[in-house]
């Protein structure tokens, strides 16, 4: 019988390519990773990895076994859910990752709703950007994550996960009030000489800002980097910068800042969970609260 935890190590090696990276993910030493891979080879009766320079690469058998890992994990999650479903009232802790921009509009109302509907459930919110939340979810350090994605950027969903769309979050242009007439006349092209505020790289928010400006015929000069784009609105308020950011972050712009919704699709807010966990009572309870109402500002305890 193949050991599932060892299969996960093989899957992670297939994804990350280096034993040291897998060791960091699992918080063990590289030698421990190598030992687990050798044990898995003995269980499988086949060579799964081979030396390539100083590193390892998967053999054909290793690639086949790594590809089979996600369906096995999903089946185990469904089996666990079938057992837990016998207790129809969710109980215990559930750890929910949440993108910073959704803490006020999604996470806080979610906690209030769960307290009313499922008082035996103990939700714990962990702030995490999507690029951090999904790996934590796959390693079972989160049970569910509220994330976002920009469909126009075309990033594929992470393997072994299921995405449940929550609502659309349009993009907005934030600019000084006295720059508004130029934008209304010429669009984004009127701001080609402006200083721009962006999230630091790498960031899908930054990628989307670059995408929007390049579609308008120019590459923006990013003069300011700010991980908290809501706080970045105060740089716009000086009259010497502009920015593009999701509408969720534009609910209370400082004086002197004009906020204009941009045409086209912005981003989606999503709930992401491990494939196969949909029927687990705690996860299902959180999903029911998240999807029970359609847009931010409409969530309320029920």
CA separation for the pair 224, 251 (Å, rounded):
21
Give the pLDDT confidence of 69-115 residue by residue, as tens digits. 878 777 777 777 666 666 667 889 999 999 999 999 999 999 999 99
Q: Are residues 110 and 21 in the same domain?
A: no
296 located within any domain: no
Assign 169 to helix, strand or coil.
strand
Give the pLDDT confidence of 108-145 residue by residue, as tens digits. 999 999 999 999 999 999 999 988 898 899 888 999 99
Q: Which residue has the tokens 């701001």?
A: 191
231 located within any domain: yes
If you write DSSP's letter for every residue of 226-244 in order, what string do you get? -S-HHHHHHHHTTTS-EEE
CA separation for the pair 36, 237 (Å, rounded):
56
Domain count for the chain: 3
* DSSP state letter for 106: I
Task: Give the distance, in angstroms, between the CA of residue 122 and the centroid of all CA atoms in the same chain.
Answer: 22
Mean pLDDT by 10 residues, the chain (302 residues): 84 83 85 87 86 82 85 75 68 94 92 93 94 88 94 82 93 96 94 95 91 94 93 95 94 93 92 89 93 52 34
Token reading at 230: 């809501």
CA separation for the pair 160, 7 (Å, rounded):
13
What's residue 203's pLDDT? 87
Q: What share of the chain is helix, strand, coil (3-state, %, to 5)?
A: 45, 25, 30
* Cβ–Cβ < 8 Å for 148, 99: yes
What's residue 301's pLDDT? 37
300 located within any domain: no
What's residue 70's pLDDT? 79
Per the structure, the complete domain to which residue 13 belongs is given by 4-67
Long-range contacts of 214-217 (CB under 8 A, 24+ apart): 216/187, 216/188, 216/189, 216/192, 217/189, 217/192
CA separation for the pair 243, 176 (Å, rounded):
10
If you write DSSP's letter for every residue of 241-270 in order, what string do you get? -EEEEEGGG-SSPPTTEEEEEPSS--EEEE
Q: Are residues 104 and 154 in the same domain?
A: yes
* Cβ–Cβ < 8 Å for 248, 169: yes
Q: Are residues 154 and 183 in the same domain?
A: no
302 located within any domain: no
Q: Are residues 149 and 104 in the same domain?
A: yes
What's residue 84's pLDDT? 67
Q: Are residues 42 and 20 in the same domain?
A: yes
């Amino acid at each position: 019988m193949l050991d599932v935890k060892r299969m996960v190590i093989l899957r992670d090696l297939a994804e990350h390519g280096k034993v040291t990276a897998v060791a960091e993910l699992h918080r063990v030493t590289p030698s421990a990773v190598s030992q687990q891979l050798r044990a898995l080879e003995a269980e499988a009766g086949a060579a799964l990895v081979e030396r390539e320079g100083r590193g390892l690469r998967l053999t054909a058998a290793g690639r086949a076994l790594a590809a089979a890992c996600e369906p096995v994990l999903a089946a185990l999650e469904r089996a666990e859910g079938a057992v837990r479903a016998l207790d129809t009232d969710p109980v215990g802790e559930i750890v929910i990752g949440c993108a910073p921009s959704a803490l006020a509009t999604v996470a806080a109302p979610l906690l209030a709703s769960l307290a009313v509907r499922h008082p035996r459930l103990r939700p714990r919110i962990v702030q995490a950007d999507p690029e951090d939340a999904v790996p934590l979810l796959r390693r079972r350090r989160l049970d569910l994550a509220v994330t976002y994605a920009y469909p126009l950027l075309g990033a594929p969903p992470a393997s072994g996960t299921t995405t449940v769309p929550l609502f659309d979050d349009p993009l907005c242009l934030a600019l000084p009030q006295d720059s508004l007439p130029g934008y209304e006349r010429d669009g984004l092209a009127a701001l080609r000489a402006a200083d721009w505020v962006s999230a630091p790289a790498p960031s899908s928010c930054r990628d989307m800002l670059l995408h929007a400006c390049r579609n308008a015929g120019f590459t923006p000069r990013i003069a300011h980097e700010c991980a908290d784009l809501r706080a970045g609105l105060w740089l716009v308020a000086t009259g010497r910068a502009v920015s593009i950011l999701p509408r969720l972050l534009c609910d209370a712009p400082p004086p002197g800042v004009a906020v204009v919704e941009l045409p086209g699709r912005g981003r989606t807010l999503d709930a992401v969970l491990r494939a196969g966990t949909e029927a687990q009572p705690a996860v299902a309870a959180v999903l029911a609260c998240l999807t029970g109402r359609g847009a931010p500002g409409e969530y309320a305890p029920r």
